[in-house]
Structure 1
C-alpha cells in the first residue's frame, strides 16, 4: 500500500514537472522564434545588400543565447552538450613591409583584415548553420508536441530535449564527412539537371537560328541577295562555341575547328589579291575574302548540320528528365502541398494521378528522383554527341597540331638561346673573372717571393680562396644546367634532395610522395625537375607557404606531378614570367600546366608530360 502511494506521488511529481517544463518550452519557443526573426532581419541586408558589418552581431549574440539553451537541455537530459564552435582566428600579423594582408588586398591597419577573418570564422563554421536550423525548427516542434505533452508530458518533453541536444551538439567528424559527401552528390545532381534544362532552352533557341539561316539562304539563292549567304553559315557560331564550352560539363573537350580567317593581300601594283582574284577596293576584297573563308571552311557546314539536327537530339535525349523533374515537382508534388496542407482549391486534372492526390505525390517524388539520377549521365552522352559534329576534322586537327609544334619549336629555340646567354654571362661575370684574378695574383706572388715572402704567403692564401670560390661557382653553374643527382638517381630522388635542401634553407616543410617505376627520358626529367623547382620556389618566396607537397606518379603514358602548397594563392600566369616559362618548357614536350590558385589558397599546380618510362638507373657510388 505504501509502495503504491509512493509510486502515485512520484508519478504526480513527474507529471507536474513535465507540465512545468512544457510551459518553459513554450516560453523558450517564443524567445527562440523572436531570436531567429531578429537574426534574419540583420542577416538579410548583410548577405543580399552587401552590408557585411551587420552579419557578426546577430550571430555572436545568438551564440550567447543558444549556449543558455544548451545548458538547459544538458540539465534536462543529463548529458553534456558542449559548444560546437570553432576557435576564433588569431589577430592578423603584418608583413615585412608593415602592411596587413587579407586574400589579395593589403591594408595599413589590422582593422579590416581582423573583421574579414572573424566574418569568415562565423560564416564558414558549420555550427552557425546548425544553430539557425534549430532556431527555425524548434518553435514548430514545440507547438506540435507540447499540446500532447500535457497528457504525456515526460515523454514529449524529453523528446524535445534530446532532439535539441542532438542538434546543438558538435557533429561527429565521420557523420559530418558523410553529410558533406551526400550534400555534394545532391548538388552535382541538381546542377546536372539544371544544365540539362539550359541545354533544352538552347535547343529551342537553335530552332530560331536555323529559321534565320534558311531565310538568309532563300534571300541569297532565290532573290540574289548574295551578301546574306555568308551570314547564313556564320551568324550562329556564337551558339556553336557556347555549346563547345558546355561540352566540358560531360568531360569532353571540343576545341574550335575553324580555319584562320582569309584576308586580302596587297600587291606591289596596288591591287588587292584574294587567292586568284584581284580587286581594286578594300570593301569588295574584304567581302569576297570573308565569303571564300566561310564557304570553303568545312566547319561551317558541319555547324549548319549540327544546328539542324541538335534540337531534335537534345529534346529526345534531355527532354524526358527535364520534363519529369518539372512535372513531378510543380505538377504533382507541390499541388498536393497546397491542396492538402493549406486546404486550397483542387482540380481533378491537375496535381493528381488518376484522380488520387496521394498517388500523384508519390509518383511526383519518384519522377523528380529519376530525373536527378539520370540527368548527369544524359548530359555526358549529350556532350559526346556535341563533339561528334562540332570537333575539328582530322585535317583541322593536323593543322592545329602543326601550328602547336611550330610554336613549341620556336619556344624551344628561344629558351635554348636564353640558356646559352645565361651560361655565357655567368661564366664571364663569375668564374672567368675569378680565374683572371688568380692569374694576376700569381704574377704578383712571383714578384714578391724574393723581396717580401710574408706578403707572398698572404697572396697565396687569397689565391686559394679565390680558386675555391671559382670552383664553387662552376659547380653551381653545372647544377643549374643539369644537376648531377638527377643524372645519377633520377627524378624522384632529385626532387627529394631538392625538398631537403629547401626545408633546410627555408622554414617551409616540403614533402615528396609517390614513386616512379622507371625513368623518363633525360630531357623530360630535366624539364620536370626545373618546373618543380620553380613552383616550390614561387610557393615559398611569393606565396608564403609553410607546407608544400609534391606528388609524383606515372600512368597511361603520362608523367604527372602535383605540387600543392598552403600559401596565399592568387598565382596567375598572365602576371609573371615564371609560370609562363614553365608552360613554355613543358610545351616543348607536349606537356601541360594546370593551375588552381584561388585568393587565399591553397595552390595546386598539376604538371603532365607524355613519356614512356625506361628501366630505373641506379647510381654506381
Structure 2
C-alpha cells in the first residue's frame, strides 16, 4: 500500500502537479495519511489507536484528493482506505466509508465544474473498485479465519488421538500385568511353598536339588514381579506422541526435540501433550508466526518444556483461559508454567519427572 500511495501522490510530491493549498501543507497531509495507514494496519496496537488512525487516514485521504488541482490517480487513496477498513472496523462501517468516499468525489467534481457524464463514469469506476476491493478483503479474511479454525481443530484432534492411544496402551499394560500376577504369580508362589515343604524331608541329595529348585523358583517369581512393575510404569514414546500432535499442520512449521534422557509417566505425558496442543493453538490464533520451536529436556528431577515462536510477541502478556488452564494442570502435578513475550512468545512448563 505504501508504494501504491506514493505512486498516486507522486505528481504533486515532485511538483509535476499543483495543489489548491500550499504544497508543503498538502505533503504534510499526505505524510499523515501514510502514517495513519501504517498505524491502523498494525495488528499489535490497541483497538482505540487503530480506530483513531483509520479515521485520520480517511479524513486525510479526502483532503489530499480534494486539495489536488487534478485527481490523476489520487482517488486510489480512497480505494486503499476502503480495502483496509475490513481489518479495522465492522463490514457495515466499510461500506459507509465507500459511500462517504463517493460523496467526496462527487462534491469535489461539482466544485471543480467537471463534465458531468465523464465525471459520473469516473466516479462509478472508483465506486466499483472500492466495493470490489472491500469484498475481496472480506473474503480473504474469512478464508484466513477458516484456515486458522481448521488448524486449531486439527491440533485438537491429533492431541485427542495421542491421548486415546496412550490410554489404550496403559489399559492393555495393566490388563497384562494383572493376568501375570494372578496366574503365574500364584502358580510360582505355590511351587515355592511346595519346595519349602520338600526341603525338610530326608535325603541329603534330594535336599540339595530341592534347594536349587527353590532358588530358581524364587528368582523367577522376582523376575515376574519386576516385569509386572515395568509394565505398569513403562514410559511412552514421548517424541512420537508430541510430533503426532503437530503432524501435517498447515501454515505453521513446528520443530520438536525431546532429549533422550527424558522419562515421563502417563500423567506427565498427558500434561505435555496438552501443553503442546495449547501452545500451538495459541501461536496459530494470536502470534502471526511462521515457525515454532519446542524442546523437552530433563532439568534435575523435573521435565522442562520450552516453546518459542518467531511471532510478534507481547510486551505485557495476559494469560487467556487456555494458558491459565495449562498452568493449573501443571500446578496440580507439582509443576509450573511461565510466559515471556519480549522476543516472540516463549512458554516454559516444568513438571516433576515420573
TM-score by length of 2: 0.37
Radius of gyration: which is bigger?
Answer: 1
Query: Does 1 or 2 have the higher relative contact order (CA < 8 Å, sep 6+)?
Result: 2
TM-score by length of 1: 0.22
